[in-house]
Every structure is written in C-alpha cells, then in structure tokens.
C-alpha cells in the first residue's frame, strides 16, 4: 500500500512510512497532528503511520453549519478517512486524551478497524454536569471573542504541570491558534457530550497499553490504573516526571514505551 499525505475529504492527514505495521495516531484537544511530531519520524522508520487532524482542529475544517463534533462523529470521520485511503487492514490505534475518548467510539462502532490500543493520558468517564457546563461556556466565549484564548485559559492549567518546559506551553498555544475558532468551540461542546465508556472495557479483546504520567492533572495515574485493569490483559505504565502530554514532554521516554508494539 502506498500512503501519501492527504487533504481529501474527510480529514487532513499526514501519512509516513512505507513498510511495517499500520499505526493511527489520534491527538488530543486543543491540539492537532503536530502533537505527535516526535513520534512521526521515529515510528515511520519501521511502521506506516497515519496522523490526522480531527475535524475542527488543525487543517480539518468543520462541515458547513456544523456546531459540535462528538466523539462518535470523530470515529465516523476516522472510518471514512481509512475508507478514502483504501485501507482494509485493522490499525494499531494510539490516542491521547480526546484521541482516547474517540477510541472508545471506534471500538463500539468499527471494532474490525482496530487491532491494538495505546491509550495515552485518557479517561473513560464522562464529564460531571459542572465540567460539561464549563465547556459549553468556553465554547460560547470562544465564539463571542472570535479567539482561541478562552479555550487556552480553560485548558492550559489542566494540560501543563508546574515543572513543564515553557516551550511545551508555547507549542500548545500555537496548535490552538492554528485551528479554526468554530472548530475549537465545536470540539469543546463535543467533549462535554461524551458518554461513560466504563461498561465497554471488559469486552475489549485486543492488546492494549495504557500510558499515564506522574503529574497528569486530567487523567491521573491512579484513575488510569483503575480503568485499565478492567481491560483484559491491558498493561499500565506511569511515566515519571511528566504530565498530560508525555509524547511532547519526554519523547525519548515515551517512544521507548512503544517497543512492545513490535510483538502485537
Ligand atoms: C485533551 O487533552 O484531549 C483534553 O484535555 C481532554 C479533556 O479536556 O478532557
């Protein structure tokens, strides 16, 4: 199979690597494909790697008139992307945070598409009513101000821990600013609407690895360890010294944890 970077509908997608297992890397919010920059070349040496921008983020615009993008919508888009690329074989799915929320919907709707799971810094439970209301308010303010700032004000304190390099904060800011304003708002709403996936975990029958970070303030190691234990055979790792964004914060350490992919 030959893969080329594509902006064909439905999504913008970077495609790298010509041989080896097929990986799909799905970013978090308010990020885009650049979140995986340190994994792309590393993995493309011996994998075929697909790195899309989820709808409304990076270079993947919303559909006309679209005001929210749910995790199910993202899964539908990824399925359509794989169709558009002519891919029939199941992918090794690696998702960070929102990319993990989308994984639950991929497994529910398109289980034959997924061959293994790497679940990074992610959760299975839904937002509390207060958290969901906060995200809807952020969406409103984003649209009123026509700026990424309301999203960044809400998200940066959650995404970054005290010891993280300021460069990481700048990279997150840049990714939010790269995205369409209406896409940021639509994704904030979609996050608020996501459902609890806990009941689905025990039925997962594919290899799975859950990667957490010592200082992750969104998906704590204890929370990730508890839900990953419900996935049969899922291995859990907590990386020392990192927070919610280990692929960006500590790429060498993060990439080392992926060696077991080779046996899947
Ligand atoms: C993400 O990194 O995708 C977001 O932090 C997810 C969230 O806010 O729940």
Read off the pLDDT of residues 37-56 as tens digits, 9 standing for 90 and up. 999 999 999 999 999 999 99
Atom of ligand 1 nearest to the CA of 27: 3
CA 161–ligand 1 middle distance (angstroms): 14
What is the tens place of the pLDDT at every residue in 125-139?
999 999 999 999 999
Q: What is the pLDDT of residue 6?
A: 63
Query: In terms of pTM, does the model score above 0.75?
Result: yes
The finding on whether 191 has its CB within 6 A of some atom of ligand 1 is yes
CA 262–ligand 1 middle distance (angstroms): 28
- Which of 31, 97, 127, 243 has most ligand 1 atoms within 8 Å of its beta carbon, as the pocket-test mutant? 97
- Which of 71, 158, 196 has most ligand 1 atoms within 8 Å of its beta carbon, as the pocket-test mutant? 158
CA 28–ligand 1 middle distance (angstroms): 6
- Between the alpha carbon of residue 71 and those of residues 102, 148, 171, 233, 237, the distances in Å are 5, 21, 24, 25, 25
CA 98–ligand 1 middle distance (angstroms): 5
User: Please, which residues have CB within 8 angstroms of residue 7's CB and are 6 or more apart in sequence?
Assistant: 13, 59
What is the tens place of the pLDDT at every residue in 200-222?
999 999 999 999 999 999 999 99
CA 171–ligand 1 middle distance (angstroms): 16
């Amino acid at each position: 199979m030959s893969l080329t970077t594509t902006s064909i509908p439905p999504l913008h997608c970077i495609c790298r690597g010509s041989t080896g297992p097929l990986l799909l890397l799905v970013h978090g919010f308010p990020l885009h494909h650049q979140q995986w920059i340190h994994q792309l070349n590393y993995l493309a040496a011996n994998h075929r790697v697909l790195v899309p921008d989820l709808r409304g983020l990076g270079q993947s615009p919303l559909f006309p008139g679209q005001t929210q993008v749910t995790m199910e919508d993202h899964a539908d888009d990824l399925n359509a992307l794989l169709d558009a690329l002519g891919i029939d074989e199941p992918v090794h799915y690696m998702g960070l945070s929102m990319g993990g929320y989308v994984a639950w919907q991929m497994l529910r709707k398109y289980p034959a598409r997924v061959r293994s799971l790497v679940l990074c810094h992610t959760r299975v439970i839904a937002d509390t009513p207060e958290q969901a209301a906060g995200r809807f308010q952020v969406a409103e303010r984003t649209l009123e101000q026509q700026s990424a700032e309301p999203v960044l004000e809400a998200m940066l304190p959650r995404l970054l821990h005290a010891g993280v390099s300021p460069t990481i904060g700048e990279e997150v800011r840049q990714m939010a600013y790269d995205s369409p304003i209406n896409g940021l708002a639509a994704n904030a709403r979609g996050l608020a609407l996501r459902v609890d996936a806990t009941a689905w975990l025990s039925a997962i029958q594919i290899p799975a690895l859950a990667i957490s970070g010592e200082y992750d303030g969104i998906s704590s190691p204890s929370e990730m360890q508890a839900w990953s234990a419900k996935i049969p055979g899922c291995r859990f790792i907590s990386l020392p010294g990192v927070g919610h964004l280990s692929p960006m914060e500590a790429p060498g350490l993060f990439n080392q944890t992926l060696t077991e992919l080779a046996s899947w």
